[in-house]
Structure formats: structure tokens, C-alpha cells
Chains A and B, each alone.
Chain A
Amino acid sequence: MSYRNLVSALHPFFALVGFAAATVQAEVKVGDTFPPLASVELVKLAGGDLPATAGNVVLVDFWASWCAPCKASFPMIAKLHQEYAPRGLVIAAVGIDEKASAAVAFVKKLAPPFPTLHDRTQQLVQKVAVPTMPTSYLIGRDGRVRFVHEGYHGDATEREIRHEIEKLLAEKS
């Protein structure tokens, strides 16, 4: 068999490998454009309507009812919301529970004051491909991810996020 015939025979294999590579979820990293929240179906759970994100500094936090650090981070997010929302920070806490009832019960118990949504089909979390739970993304006014926080480490995380929010809010659009 000639080399040409060999390539022809293996063509389907190469096509499949290429397809598999294309479908691997790419993690959203610093510098990437964050997928628009309006592009996926997000069910509102608490904290009122999500303000317009375009042109604003946005903190997107991914949480789950089964994730203990997520629960621990909610009081910190509430403080950030209270302090920075009047200055233009938009917070979107996105739950990724497969069971809607678990997400609803979690939110009912914690009663977060910031916009809390449910990504019930896990479309957004799959697009973003979070590396761990919880993960929060600080997005600049240009819609690009500027900082990523993996996990929640108490005061250390809060100090870092506050510093970064101040920096992003100070930037002009």
C-alpha cells in the first residue's frame, strides 16, 4: 500500500481526533472575554435583578449548596456588595447545583442580599470550566477577566479581592 493510501485509510481517525480536541472545554483565564451572562439561561433566586454588566466591574462567583467554602464565602460577598455596589460593582453569584431544590433551599437559608442566580442546566459553568469550587472572576469594564480566585481562604481572599476591586473601579471605561 502506498503512503497516499495509508493517509486515506487513516483520514477518519485524524478527523475524530481533531473533533475531540475541538470539543474539550477551555478554561476561562485572565485576559479572556467572559461569556455574557445573558447568553445562558440563569434563574433568579435572590437579591433582586442583575444590574447591567456592560461597562461595569463585575464579580461572578460560582457556588454550590454542597460546597462548604462557598457557604463560608457568602458573608464576605455580602460585605463587598454592601460596600461596593453603590460605587458600581455588579455581583452575580451563580449556583451550579444539578438539583434545583438544593439551590433554592441553600439560598433560602442564607438569604444573600446580592443577585443570586441558578445555572440549572450548567451551561455557563461548562463554558467557563471553573477549575475548582468556589471560583470567582473579577471582570473589568471591557468584559475581560482580570483576576481569578480559586477557592475561598478567608481573610486572605477578602484582602486580595478588595484590593483588586479598588483597582478596577479606579480604572476609567
Chain B
Amino acid sequence: MTTRRLFFFALAAAGLATSGCTHPNLVRVKPWERATLTAYEMRPDRDPIHTTMMEHTFFSRETASGGRGVGGSGCGCN
């Protein structure tokens, strides 16, 4: 087998190995497969204390408040 033939064989093998990456079944969760995603444990706001702490950290760091149900215009002046 010549070097050139080996090169094209390797190219075909690489194509075979990577072609599955574009298969929709691998990259998308189907609507009927979302049971786990809808579980309570998957909710980012399932712990109210944790949510409050995160929001406090966020607006303290950003020196801005509002936009998450808190009064104020977001200017940080209230």
C-alpha cells in the first residue's frame, strides 16, 4: 500500500470516527427524554436560601439591584 493510499485510508477512517458527532440523536435531548430534566432536583432555584444568597452576592458584586423582582431601577442608588 502506498503512502498516498494510506493517507486517504486514514482520512476515511477519521471521517467515519467523526461523522457520528453531527447525528441529531447525540446532540439533542428529545422532548420525550426530558423526565430527568424536569425533576425538582434539577431546578436551580430549589433552595430559597441559596437563591437569596446568590442574588445578594450578585447585586453586591455588580453594585446594582433590581431586575429580579426587587424595587429599584438598577442604578444602585436605592
Contact = CB atoms under 8 A, between A and B. Distances in A.
Interface of A: 1, 5-6, 9-13, 16-17, 20, 24-25, 62, 64, 66-67, 96-99, 102, 122, 125-126, 129-133, 135
Interface residues of B, number: 22
B54 interface: no
A12 B38 contact: no
Given A66-B39, A130-B32, A133-B31, A16 B16 contact: yes
A5 B19 contact: no
B30 to A, nearest CB: 8
A131 B30 CA distance: 8
Contact of A99 (B25, B32, B35): B35
Nearest to B4: A1
Nearest to B15: A13
> Which 8 residue pairs of A and B lie closest in terms of their CB atoms, listed nearest first?
A9-B8, A13-B15, A66-B38, A1-B4, A96-B32, A125-B32, A13-B12, A66-B35
Interface string B37-50: 01100000000000
B62 to A, nearest CB: 33
B72 interface: no
B69 interface: no
Given A10-B15, A12-B16, A24-B24, A5 B8 contact: yes
A10 B35 contact: no
Interface string B1-34: 0101100110110011001101111000011101
Contacts of B9: 9
